[in-house]
Amino acid sequence: MQKVAMTIWAAALTVAAIVAILLANVFAGFGISLSMILAAVLWTGVLLSTYVWAPAIPSGSDAESAVPEKPKNKPGGGRQVWVDSLKTFLMCLVVVGHSGVAFLGLGWYLTIGWYPNFYRAIGTAVFVLVKSFAVPLFFFISGTFAPSSCDKKGPSAFLKTLVWRMSLPFFVFTFIVDAGLNTAANSAFRDPPLPISYLPSLGVTWFLLWLMLFSSVYAHLEGPKMFMDLPSIGTLNLISFGVSVLQLGVDVTLGIFAASPAFMGMPLVGPGNGLHNALWYAGGTLAGRNGWLSDRLPRGMRTVSAGVAGVSAVLVFVAALLLLPENPVINVGGDPSLLFFLFVIVCQVLLAPAGICLGVLAIDLFQQLCTDQEGILNRLAPFSYGVFLLHSWVVVVITFSFIKIYEGATGTDISWPDGPGGSTTRLSNDGVLFGGFLYTAVLSLGASVLLTFLVRLIPGVKSFL
């Protein structure tokens, strides 16, 4: 009976997610302003569900008494050191990734290098490999804490604690800090400048918005506790592949309705985006409820994951070298933008299993190697949330400094004649783009940690960052 109930819940939530995102694409076609309005409506709904409707959720001893008998695979006790180290590492990947796309010509506030080149081919291949697991793994880790927090505090208190900590940063950064970054990137950092205008930005805070939504759904979810054994790697890969195929339907609607590739900030196109974030959060709640991570993952799962990840990485690099260089081997219509989109779509399906496998390997690596509380990653863990929120400004400013250094050294004027897109100004060679990425990534990591440390010294800020 429990399996039937779980199947019904899974089917209902899957259909609801697909319908919601398909409709989201339709709405997104009307422009980013509507997307921001809907984001504000969603955030308001989360606040209402937390502080107005939350009393209807069982709490405290009522919630604990509602928990059935524990599964055989018991969850491990306490917060494990490797989890904090993994979160810090993933945060470093976010900063490095945004430093990388700043030199790929798209997907960031201030970007250069928007033309076919060797760096773009290799950089994009690395980026999609990392993207296939990095952000979903953030949602997965967040999901693992939800069951124990709900059992200990009760769903109502769990939700209030999470929403309280995230809502103020969400508001401040979406409507003030990153809105200012939008204006600066468009009007002060580029040539020719765009007209000064105010536009809220969900550049990084989309993660907070959707995490609050997923957590609210979980806290209000009625029905059986979902106890189950750890699925095989084949089953996990099959589920991920199926979700990627469904995600292709989302991508088709993007083209039909000329919609933005993101809705309410969450990217929808490419590996590790859209439905995968919901899937990994749900998987995290199951892992937390059933103690899947209390011991080392099975040997067979690790072996298969290494093989699948290795083969997928080779195929991705081959595809990138065929489609993305200046003189691609496969040239569909001679349009670099079309080739880039084709590459991303191919990787979205190809990396569905690889994303799961890379996530498995990352978890296993940190379970084995990062158990020291005095390790550098664990000691930096308290700053990771602040780095996440503050690094956008840091990356843009350091990218701008590199542009000015290059212009001064070469006499080249880097410009954005096409408006808000990436700069198509060709640099002297592809190595300059790679050097700019290294310069920006290294300085941004250190500067983001330092800035977070200083901001946390402000009275009252530390409790939120």
* Distances, alpha carbon 436 to alpha carbons 90, 392, 453, in Å: 22, 16, 26
Calpha distance 432→445 (Å, rounded): 20
pTM, rounded to two decimals = 0.86
Q: Is residue 5 over pLDDT 60?
A: no
Q: Provide mean pLDDT across the span 241-253.
A: 80
- Residue spans of the domains in the chain: they are 2-455
Higher pLDDT, 58 or 89: 89
Q: List pLDDT tens digits, range 422-461.
A: 888 899 888 999 999 999 999 999 999 999 999 999 998 8
The tokens 């970054």 sit on which residue? Answer: 181
* Alpha helix stretches (DSSP H) within 263-383: 275-290, 299-323, 336-369, 376-380
Lowest-confidence pick of 28-37, 252-261, 293-302 = 28-37
Count CB-CB contacts under 10 A for residue 88: 23
Residue 359 confidence class, pLDDT cut points 50, 70, 90:
very high
Q: List pLDDT tens digits, range 316-353.
A: 999 999 888 877 777 766 677 778 878 888 888 888 88
Q: Provide mean pLDDT across the span 102-122.
A: 86
Q: What Rg do the C-alpha atoms of the chain give, in angstroms?
A: 22
